[in-house]
Chains A and B, each alone.
Chain A
Amino acid sequence: MAVPLVEITLAGAIINASVHFVPVGGAPAAMATSTGIGTGTTQLAAGAGFTGLMAAAIMAAQKGIVLSNPIHLAIILLSGAVGSMIMLALTMLLGQLIYVFGVGVVPAADKCEKDPITGDYQKSYITPGTTGHAIPTVCFISGLIGAALGGIGGGLAYIALKQLGFASEVAGIIAVGFFFMNAVLASYNIGGTIEGFHDPKFKKMPNGIIASFIASLLTGVIVVGMSIGI
């Protein structure tokens, strides 16, 4: 009982942290007038998180996988992380193609002078009146880290629910609800848009993690209570 409770609490905190890494641009980014992917946090987190959840669930359903074996757990979590990363990487890549070749803007980050990874100057490429364009390297890498964490968090929640003895369908739908709850708490903490780990808003992350920690602990207690009869 205690191990799944700890796992589900940690999973909530990890999901919350993951959302802070994803470069969410919101509506301005959809018009290529802001850095990031052009949709809301909830949709992005849901897209990447669900793919991770499914990848983890498929791995957990493979023959010979035992949930009590730590190495097998690590494989399930990695599977979730990779599934989630592929999903978000494709989203960012295709978005980038549309931004660069369709809209015709240069990828540029607004929140840093120089790209911390490539060292390229950013400010001179930003159109006046906008806050950056598309998905520069630093945002892409940040997004990949976020997706990996999201997949791990989703997978961990699913594993915890399976360890409590729920059927796969029940565990899956509770994990979906749990994922949305934590992703939206993170998105309220961000306040709409974020560029990645170089954004000043990233420093607000502890608040979000504390909120998710408490909410997940409460959910964990309810879920453990539900599992007593199984």
Chain B
Amino acid sequence: MSHGGGGHAAELYPENQVILFGAILAIVGMYISQFLPHVSMLIGGLLAVGATVAGANTTRRVAAYGLGTGVPSIGMVSLGLGVISTLAGVLLAGVAISQFNLPNELLYGIPIIVAVVSIVLGFIVGKLTVNPIGMKIPIMVESMTKLSLMGALSILGFCAAYAGGFYPDVIIGGAVKNGIIGLAFIAAGMAILHPFNACLGPNESHKRTLLLAIACGFITWFIFSIVKLDILSSVVSILLWGIVYREFVNQSLKDACCVLYTPEIPKKDM
């Protein structure tokens, strides 16, 4: 549930820096998937991990205030908004070309259109959670906007990596009709909501949550590589996951020491 009033642990990196970095990585990944389809899963999948890590980092920041409904709720809303904006961006570009005679080059802008739609949708839904509903979290609107963006980028990132591009016909035929977008919904959702959900509590540290976020991102990438039967990406992703997860376990053990060695309680009352 909530952070238990534990407040915020110190941040290793400022949130906006992580968001910017994650968004740029994911968008670059989409373009690589589009123009170099033979390495779409290897590089596009790897870079899509950036979006899930940035999403997990924002989840950590907003959920630390105590949502009252559990951390998964905000992860799921981010993916819900993300899937709507992903399909909206992909299909709206096609509509704009066919109905308003815009040049075909507009299709290259799909990742940007998806990002814009998700930011608008996330901002308005964030406003709604504050105004009629009355959430008392000061960073709710900006966090919903960022989470919606990261949800959309991670879904489009993994779908583009799977389908080998983000053109409407490629992505609808290659990742929506066969249900891969459902996998992207729940697997990327887990990568966004799980890290803080698992690490929250007293003595939560940014480094540990981020390590788990990266590990979750890699395992999501691994799942997609397995589904695509891409042997090279599968091997690389599981190796990277192993390295990061080992680091996470070490970090957990190190942090656990701090909790275990409490000062000795006096045996007698003075």
**A-contacting 9-mer, from B28-36, B51-59, B171-179:** B171-179
B133 touches A185 (CB 8 A): yes
Q: How many residues of A contact B (CB 8 A)?
A: 41
Q: Is A104 an interface residue (CB 8 A)?
A: no
Q: Is B79 an interface residue (CB 8 A)?
A: yes
B79 touches A180 (CB 8 A): yes
A49 and B33 alpha carbons, distance in the complex (Å): 34
Which residues of the other chain, A, contact B70 by a CB distance below 8 angstroms?
A: 26-27, 40, 42, 192
Q: Is A64 an interface residue (CB 8 A)?
A: no
Which residues of the other chain, A, contact B72 by a CB distance below 8 angstroms?
A: 40, 42-43
Which residues of the other chain, B, contact A51 by a CB distance below 8 angstroms?
A: none
| Chain B min CB distance to A26 (Å) | 7
Q: Is B68 an interface residue (CB 8 A)?
A: yes
User: CB-defined interface of B77-110 with A at 8 Å, one 1/0 digit per residue?
Assistant: 1011111100110011011001100000000000
| Chain A min CB distance to B90 (Å) | 9
Q: Is A9 an interface residue (CB 8 A)?
A: no
Q: A residues near B, CB below 8 A?
A: 26-27, 40-43, 46, 167, 169-170, 173-174, 176-181, 184-185, 187-192, 207-208, 210-211, 214-215, 218-219, 222-223, 225-229
Can you pick out 8 interface pairs between chain A and chain B where the beta carbons lie within 8 Å of each other? A173-B176, A176-B80, A177-B79, A185-B77, A188-B67, A207-B132, A222-B88, A223-B88
Q: B residues near A, CB below 8 A?
A: 1, 67-70, 72-74, 76-77, 79-84, 87-88, 91-92, 94-95, 98-99, 117, 121, 124-125, 128-129, 131-135, 172, 176-179, 181-182, 185
